[in-house]
Amino acid sequence: MEHRSDLDEDVPGTGPAPQERRGFLPIRTNWFDRLFVGIYLFVALELFWMRFLEQSIPLTVCHVLAIALTALIVWRG
């Protein structure tokens, strides 16, 4: 009996796998996971900023940085 690798192509569901999206996060994620991570980091950055940096740098700067970081994580993470 000869081995034919093209037999696997006849079975439905065994076609080529879709390209896995690769981002900079070290885990496999979908958009909702990345959004959750972004919001979590948003809150952590806000709390860190209020504790250590708010006396010298306004909180508005933190809002802009946190939104940019969240957008980056959702888009490229």
Angle between helices 59-76 and 31-52 (to 10 degrees): 160
Would you kindly state where each structural domain of the chain is located, as residue ranges? 23-76
DSSP conformational letter for 25: S
Q: pTM of the prediction?
A: 0.66
**Sites in the chain below the pLDDT cut of 70:** 1-21
pLDDT on residue 64: 96
Which secondary-structure segment (H or E) carries 34? Answer: helix 31-52
pLDDT on residue 76: 87
pLDDT on residue 56: 94
Nearest residue to 37 via CA among 48, 21, 26: 26
pLDDT on residue 19: 58
pLDDT on residue 11: 56
Q: Which tokens is 48 given? A: 């860190």
pLDDT on residue 27: 84
* SS3 label, residue 29: coil
pLDDT on residue 34: 93
